[in-house]
């Protein structure tokens, strides 16, 4: 979250949202302006995807390192997935008319 705050170029104020950027065509002058709604939507999607990626990295780390002694709340919780446990395998039966989606 700290990294996201550092790179977030949008400031929320009592007057609304302001976009911070450099105006490179006039000598790198920093400007604040009200962003277009399409810019806000793109930024929101970009940061949501970054958040999902970080969350997946955290889950992978916790699943690999959690035990009864270390990260015990996660280890005993519903989100823990044993990394050594094989997932269910779906094999295509080529004599069947059903397609399994793999």
Report domain extents, the chain: 2-21+30-75
Do 21 and 33 meet the contact criterion of CB atoms below 8 Å apart? Answer: yes
Is pLDDT at 84 greater than 80 in this prediction?
Answer: yes
pLDDT at position 37 is 81
pLDDT tens digit string along 32-76?
Answer: 777 778 877 887 888 889 889 999 999 999 999 999 999 999 999
User: What is the mean predicted confidence (pLDDT) over 62-91?
Assistant: 85
Is pLDDT at 81 greater than 80 in this prediction?
Answer: yes
Do 21 and 27 meet the contact criterion of CB atoms below 8 Å apart? Answer: no
User: What is the mean predicted confidence (pLDDT) over 12-38?
Assistant: 72
């Amino acid at each position: 979250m700290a990294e996201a705050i550092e790179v977030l170029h949008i400031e929320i104020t009592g007057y609304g949202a302001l976009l911070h950027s450099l105006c490179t065509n006039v000598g790198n002058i920093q400007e604040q302006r009200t962003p277009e709604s399409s810019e806000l939507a793109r930024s929101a999607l970009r940061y949501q995807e970054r958040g999902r990626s970080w969350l997946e990295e955290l889950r992978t780390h916790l699943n690999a390192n959690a035990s009864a002694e270390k990260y015990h709340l996660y280890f005993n919780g519903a989100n823990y997935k044993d990394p050594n446990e094989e997932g269910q395998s779906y094999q295509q039966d080529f004599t069947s008319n059903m397609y399994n989606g793999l």
